[in-house]
Amino acid sequence: MNSITRARRKARRLIGDLKRLAGVKTVRFDGVAVHAARNELPFEVRRLLFRGIYENKEREFVRKAVKRGDRVLEVGCGIGAVSLVVTRMAGEGQVWSLEANSMLEPVIKRNYALNGWTPNLRIAAVSKVSGRVSFEVDENIISSSMASRAGRRRTIEIEAVAISELVDEIRPDVIIADVEGAEIEIFDADAPLDRVRTIVLELHPKIVGLQATDQLVDSLLGRGFDLIGRRGNVVWLDRAAVTASQLT
């Protein structure tokens, strides 16, 4: 990174921090808007939003990977920031989002409404099989997980939908997933991914271990995906070498 790039990034961070401190309520990036008022989101989320780096790796990849008209399954919607960018790319109604944390439902709907859209949103976890699963709710609403982790958490039972059922129902071209460690189970060797073209996936080696995440990526490469890009723990896998006729 050269000195000019560093200076520009420092300036963007400073401007973002000044906007946050001034009480600006809305952040705009990648052609969409997100609510970021005080008392609506954890401090760290707001800080990253105003600095323009919240989920920036995922946003970079989906801007390049998602095409107009794609059917997109999003597993782990969070506050809806990536979901909004994907909706702008694929078109309204082309994104099916699942979020396990019910506390995020009003946040997601409010962000969609800010952009004049309505989400295809289901409050449920995604797992290998449908049923009920234990879910750890963190006081930091975006860090909740099905994986057991340290911290101030409470465990609740929530609905889980099998990945196979979702793929059969939605028939996604693209799957985007940020599930705090549950990716190891969801994308195992039995996951029905043969007709999926693109996966943008955040890995969580601090939760499940580096060996498990490396094995997952190797497994997906063995199933015909190419590793197109990697930024930290976010990977973009695509069937770049597979023609459309081979997927029909």
**CATH architecture label of 55-126+161-247:** 3-Layer(aba) Sandwich (3.40)
Higher pLDDT, 247 or 58: 58
Residues in the chain: 248
pTM across the whole model:
0.88
Instruction: Tell me what the pLDDT averaged over the chain comes to.
Output: 88
pLDDT in the model for residue 176: 98
Predicted confidence band at 1 (pLDDT cuts at 50, 70, 90)?
low
Smallest CA-to-CA distance from 101 within 70, 133, 78 is with: 78
Q: Residue 185's pLDDT is what?
A: 93
DSSP-assigned states of every residue in 20-70: HHTT--EEEETTEEEE--TTTS-HHHHHHHHHT-TTHHHHHHHHHH--TT-
Q: Is there a contact between 176 and 73 (Cβ–Cβ < 8 Å)?
A: yes
Angle 220-223-229 (CA atoms, 0-180°, nearest 5)?
45
Give the model's pLDDT for residue 20: 82
100-114 pLDDT tens trace: 999 899 999 999 999
How sure is the predictor about 127, in pLDDT bands with cuts at 50, 70 and 90?
A: very high
pLDDT at 153 over 50: yes
In 92-195, which ranges are E strands?
A: 95-99, 120-123, 125-127, 131-138, 153-162, 174-177
Q: Which residues are bridge partners to 156 per DSSP?
A: 135
* Average confidence (pLDDT) over 38-66: 93
Checking if the pLDDT of 175 tops 50, the result is yes
For 104-118, 126-140, 173-187, which range has the lowest pLDDT when averaged over its residues? 126-140
Res. 163: pLDDT tops 60: yes
| Per-residue pLDDT at 141 | 53
CATH 3.40.50.150 maps onto the chain at 55-126+161-247
Evaluate whether 73 touches 166 at the Cβ level (below 8 Å): yes
What mean pLDDT is predicted for residues 150-176?
87
* Tens-digit pLDDT profile for residues 59-106: 999 999 999 999 999 999 999 999 999 999 999 999 999 999 998 999
Q: How many helices and strands, by DSSP H and E, does the chain display?
A: 10, 12
Residue 206 has pLDDT above 50, yes or no: yes
Residue with tokens 């609403």: 141
**Gyration radius of the chain over CA positions:** 18
